[in-house]
Structure 1
Amino acid sequence: MTLYIRRESSKLWKRFYSELTTEIGLLAENWKYLLAGLICQYIHGLAAKGVHYIHRPGPTLQDLGFLLLPELGQERSYISETVFTSVFLSFFLWTFHPFILKSKRIYTVLIWCRVLAFLVACQFLRVITFYSTQLPGPNYHCREGSKVSRLPWPKSAIEVLEINPHGVMYGCGDLIFSSHMIFTLVFVLTYQKYGTKRFIKLFGWLIAFVQSLLIVASRKHYSVDVVVAWYTVNLVVFCLDKKLPELPDRTTVLLPVVSKDRSKEENHKLLNGNGADPADWRPRAQVNGKIDSNGVHTDNSMNGA
């Protein structure tokens, strides 16, 4: 039993090291795209903070979702955040599964380059939209009488450029369209294309729908914010997916050339990637002669045949 655990641990480490080496090479080639995507996330945060300065609290607008869905209340607003956090962490961990699992359809660096491109495009449209028209926030801390419904004007440039978790959780004015739905739908659409488990894909769409209802029931967004997110994100991902280069297919694996005199045990090892001679992976083309069972080319012209 101990020997088996050691052998499996050794295989896991080799797989991890091999994947890490590959990903470091991809990171060296694509770090500029990842850095640009992360910088855009910061800019999006600054834009959301900026619109809070010009937000004006007012009466909550009439909304069909507010009429149909029961209000969860301020004390249960954590439910939608818990669902979103679960979706975010689950997707984040899934993108690193090639380091451990044998089934590898994606490269972690390349999949995050693609995801960040989707997020940046959607967030760019979102910033334009919520700066065009500021709606009175329906969230509890954005209503009239709340101390944080309006931000005091900044006193220094540092105050403008800093982003704190409190501001992210208690922002106002950045309504159309929902940032939570951008992330959720981008993650679900990405797994829909590159994931392998059908039931997880269906479960992902169910969670996205439930997340939509929870956001409205928690009064964090109007129904229009969620509805616009659903068709905007899907259209953006559809269009960009056609323009971006496709990810390399990792499912196509070349099998080594196996000679007839190998034993069944040797063939089994080769198919599992153990003990394969690198020379066996090279294609052997026939040139004016025959190839014997040992892979040695016999030139008939030398024998006068």
Structure 2
Amino acid sequence: MSFYIGREASKLWKRICTESGIEINLLSEKWKYILGGLIFQYIHGFAARGVHYIHRPGPTLQDVGFFLLPELGQDKGYISETVFTTLFLSFVLWTFHPFFFKIKKIYTVLIWCRVLAFLAACQFLRIITFYSTQLPGPNYHCREGSKLATLPPPNSVLEVLLINFPRGMLYGCGDLIFSSHMIFSLIFVRTYHKYGTQRFIKLCAWLAVIAQSFLIVASRKHYTVDVVVAWYTVNLVVFFVDKQLPELPDRTSAALILPLSKDSKAKEENHKLLNANSGDPAEWI
């Protein structure tokens, strides 16, 4: 029994090392896109922090979702965050599954290049939108009488540049249209729907993002319009941006040769190692 476990652990370690080499080669080619996407995440956070300085609390606007959905209350705001965190972490873990599983369809670096491109495009539109019109935030900490509804003038440029993560993300005001949580959730679910393999997980993911839509409104974290605009904007952006990007290579194709080396023989060997196609069934998992 211990021999079998040791043998399986050895094969797993070999797969992790092989996959790491392939992903490092891809990263050496695509690092500019990854870095650019990560930098834009900071720009988006910086912009959301900036709009908080000009946010002015006021009466909560009339909203059909507030009439139709019962208010969960401030003490139950964690429910929508739990659903979002589950979607977020599940997707991140899935993007790294090629390091551990024999059957795989994606490359981690390439899928994140794609996801970051979707995020940057949607967040760019979001920044323009919430700076165009500032609505009084419906969240409890953004209402009149709350000390967190407005930020005092900054004492220095550094205070503005430091986003105060994660407090600035959790207690921001003014960045309403459209929901950032919905941007991430919809992009992640759409990406898994296209490149994932488990139909049941796809169904659960779509049900989760639908439930999150209602929970966000019921928690009074956003107006209904913030969620509705996110649904059609994100889907349209992903649809059009996806058409402009080169399609990801399908790793399930036996004829695929990885574009990682000028030596075609080395490419073929990388592909065989990556998919455990050594020709010896005893080496498969």
Q: Which residue of 1 aligns with 2:250?
A: 249
Q: Which residue of 2 aligns with 1:66?
A: 66
Whole-angstrom distance in 1 between the partners of 2:224 and 2:180: 13
Give the superposition deviation at 1:75: 0.5
Give the superposition deviation at 1:275: 5.2
Whole-angstrom distance in 2 between the partners of 1:162 and 1:92: 25
- Kindly indicate whether structure 1 or structure 2 has the higher relative contact order, using CA contacts under 8 Å at least 6 residues apart: 2
Matched residues, number = 261
User: Root-mean-square deviation (CA), in Å?
Assistant: 1.4
Give the superposition deviation at 1:147: 0.4
* Larger CA Rg, structure 1 vs 2: 1
Q: Which stretches of structure 1, 4 residues or more, deviate above 6 A after TM superposition?
A: none
The amino acid that maps onto 2:77 is S
Closer, same or farther: CA 7–115 of 1 in aligned 2, 3 Å: same
Whole-angstrom distance in 2 between the partners of 1:272 and 1:177: 46
> Are 1:273 and 2:278 counterparts?
yes
SS of residue in 1 equivalent to 2:84 = helix
CA deviations on 1:239-280 (whole Å, 9 max, x unpaired) are 01100011111111149xxxxxxxxxxxxxxx952459xxxx
Whole-angstrom distance in 1 between the partners of 2:186 and 2:223: 18
Deviates further, 106-115 or 244-253: 244-253
> Are 1:174 and 2:179 counterparts?
no
Whole-angstrom distance in 2 between the partners of 1:272 and 1:121: 39
**TM-score relative to the length of structure 2:** 0.90
Whole-angstrom distance in 1 between the partners of 2:38 and 2:277: 39
Q: Which residue of 2 aligns with 1:204?
A: 205
Q: Which residue of 2 aligns with 1:28?
A: 28
**TM-score relative to the length of structure 1:** 0.84
The amino acid that maps onto 1:127 is I
Gaps of 5+ in 1: 256-270, 277-305
SS of residue in 2 equivalent to 1:131 = helix
Give the superposition deviation at 1:14: 1.0
The amino acid that maps onto 1:273 is S
Matches within 5 A, 1:66-145: 66-145=66-145
Gaps of 5+ in 2: 257-275
Whole-angstrom distance in 1 between the partners of 2:229 and 2:277: 49
Whole-angstrom distance in 1 between the partners of 2:159 and 2:7: 55
SS of residue in 2 equivalent to 1:152 = coil
Whole-angstrom distance in 2 between the partners of 1:40 and 1:10: 39
CA deviations on 1:137-174 (whole Å, 9 max, x unpaired) are 00000000000100011110100100111111100000
Whole-angstrom distance in 2 between the partners of 1:192 and 1:17: 28
